[in-house]
Amino acid sequence: MQTELPTNRVKQLLRDRDVAELFNASLRTVIDWRNAGKLPFIRIGRSIRYRPESVAAALEKLERGGQ
């Protein structure tokens, strides 16, 4: 039996490259921010993904001069 998730509750997770593009930063910078704890992430197996709302919150914190 296959369970379908409601489409309005499913949000697409972002990859490192997607986040780099959003921030207009290099891939290395995104990885450094992630490793420094500046970007919350989700590990799915060997893949790293980001929730769009977490990325937006991190951007807002940077705008306010946060670390």
- Any idea where the domains of the chain sit in the sequence? 12-63
pLDDT band at 2 (very low <50, low <70, confident <90, very high): low
Is-above-0.85 flag for pTM? Answer: no
Structure token pair of residue 52: 């769009």
Q: Where are the beta strands (DSSP E) in 1-67?
A: 42-44, 47-49
Tokens (6 digits) for 31:
């990885």
Please give the Cα distance from 47 to 15 (Å, whole number): 8
CB 27 within 8 A of CB 17: yes
- In the predicted model, is pLDDT for residue 54 greater than 70? yes
Tens-place pLDDT, residues 13-45 = 999 999 999 889 999 999 999 999 999 999 999
pLDDT of residue 64: 73
Say if CB 14 and CB 49 are below 8 A apart: yes
